[in-house]
Amino acid sequence: MSNNSPRVEHFRNLQRYEQWAGARVVASLRSAHAAAVDRASSDRARGIFGHIQMARHEWLFRLGQIPKRPWIMFPDWSVEECAADAARLDGAWSAYLANLGDADLDGEVRYTSNEGKPFVSLRRDILTHVINHSTYHRGQIALLVKAAGGAPEATDFVLYSRQAGIG
C-alpha cells in the first residue's frame, strides 16, 4: 500500500534524482561519442552506464518486480540502447516505489548474488545501495567523457535539488 511517509518519499525523490542524473549522463555520452577524440574512453564510459542499468535491473529482479535477464558486467550497448534501458528502468523503479509503504522499508529481502551466494538485506539498504552505486559510477563516467573530448554534465544531488525547487 502506498503512503506519503517522509522515509518513503525520500526514496521516491532519490529515484527522481536517478532519472534526472541518468538523462544528463546520456547527454554526456552523446557528446563524447560526437567528439571522437578518444574512442576507448567513450566506449568505456558507455559500458559503465550500461553496467549501472544492469545493476538497477538486477536489484529490481531481486525485489521481485521484473524477470531476470542474463547478467553482463559491462554490456556493449549503443548510447541509444543505454538510454532506452535507463528509461524503461526509471519507469519500473518509479512504479515499484509508488506502491511501497513505510513498513516495507524495514523488510528483509532474500536473494542470491550473481556468484550464487545467498544474502539477506533490508529493503531500505538495497534502495540506498542502488542510488550510491549509480552515483559512484557516474563519477567515473564524467572522467571518461572528459578524456574522450566530450562535455560531462554535472550530476550532483544538490544541483538536482536546486533545479527541482526542493533545496
CA distance 22 to 24: 5
Answer for the pair 40, 48: CB distance below 8 angstroms, yes or no.
no
Q: Per residue in 1-52, pLDDT tens?
A: 457 899 999 999 999 999 999 999 999 999 999 997 889 999 999 999 999 9
Report the predicted TM-score, pTM, of the whole model to 2 decimal places.
0.95
At residue 36, the pLDDT reads 78
Pick the CATH number of 6-162 from 1.20.120.450, 3.40.718.10, 3.90.550.10, 2.60.40.10: 1.20.120.450
Answer for the pair 6, 105: CB distance below 8 angstroms, yes or no.
no
At residue 1, the pLDDT reads 45
Q: Per residue in 53-87, pLDDT tens?
A: 999 999 999 999 999 999 999 999 999 999 999 99
C-alpha cell at 164: 527541482
What value does the mean pLDDT take over residues 131-156?
98
Answer for the pair 126, 59: CB distance below 8 angstroms, yes or no.
yes
CA distance 125 to 104: 12
State the CB neighbour count (10 A cutoff) for residue 12.
Answer: 17
- Counting residues of the chain whose pLDDT is more than 90, the rounded percentage is 93
Mean residue pLDDT across the chain = 96
Identity at 119, one-letter amino acid code: F
